[in-house]
Structure 1
Amino acid sequence: MKKDKKKDYHPIVEVLGKRIKDVIKASSLVQKNVAHDADMDVENLRKYMRGDQEMKISTLMRITSGLNITVSELFEGIEEEVKRNKLK
């Protein structure tokens, strides 16, 4: 039986993935193009978006570059969002 590693990650991993997904949607970007610009394959990008995989800081920098936003923009208000998700 496969262990669900996602539950072992800090809740910020899932919130961050949702934010990446939301930016892609709001900006009318294409996942494949964002992945290309971030120098990764689209399946890895999707793992991050689902919160199935933690990322290195360098990966985060590449993804935000592909999204044409700053890391600060992606993290704005994230602590409050993580707290709200913990209460659900």
Structure 2
Amino acid sequence: MYIYKIVLDYFINTIGIIDLGVRIQDLIKEKKLKQRDVAYDSGLDVENLRKYVKGKQEMKVSTLLKIVRALDVKIEDLFNEE
């Protein structure tokens, strides 16, 4: 878990929390999912997921990992825009 914390901190500090949210939103769209479904699969409230996606709320590493699992992607996919 510690390595993910380092990766998340690096990503937020260099790319920004808003860009992290944009990338999550892009993955949701690419997979043709709805935010409410990703929130449910992540065990999150849909409003909190929306705040993360909009960059209005920072997330814990554990939250990011839940979202990544719900999207069925690797954490590295947040860095790779294809």
Q: Tell me the TM-score normalized by structure 2.
A: 0.77
Indicate the residue corresponding to 2:33 in structure 1: 29
Q: Which residue of 1 aligns with 2:80?
A: 76
Runs of 4+ with >3 A deviation? none
- The Cα shift of 1:14 comes to 0.3
Structure 2: distance between partners of 1:18 and 1:47: 11
Local SS of the residue matching 2:43 = coil
Indicate the residue corresponding to 2:19 in structure 1.
15
Aligned to 2:60: 56
SS class of match (1:66): helix
Identify unmatched segments of 5+ residues in structure 2: 1-11
Residue 43 of structure 1 corresponds to which residue in structure 2? 47
* Alignment TM-score, normalising by the size of structure 1: 0.72
Q: For residues 76 and 30 of structure 1, what CA distance do their matches in structure 2 show? A: 21
Q: Quick one: distance in 2 between partners of 1:30 and 1:55?
A: 19
Identify which of structures 1 and 2 has the higher relative contact order when contacts are C-alpha pairs closer than 8 Å and 6+ apart.
1
Equivalent of 2:70, from 52, 66, 73? 66
User: Considering only CA atoms, is the larger Rg found in Structure 1 or Structure 2?
Assistant: 1
What is the CA-CA distance between 1:76 and the residue it aligns to?
Answer: 3.2
Q: Which runs of 5+ in 1 are unaligned?
A: 1-8, 78-88
CA displacement, residues 18-45 of structure 1 (integer Å, 9 cap, x when unaligned): 0011111111001111001110011000
RMSD of equivalent CA atoms: 1.6
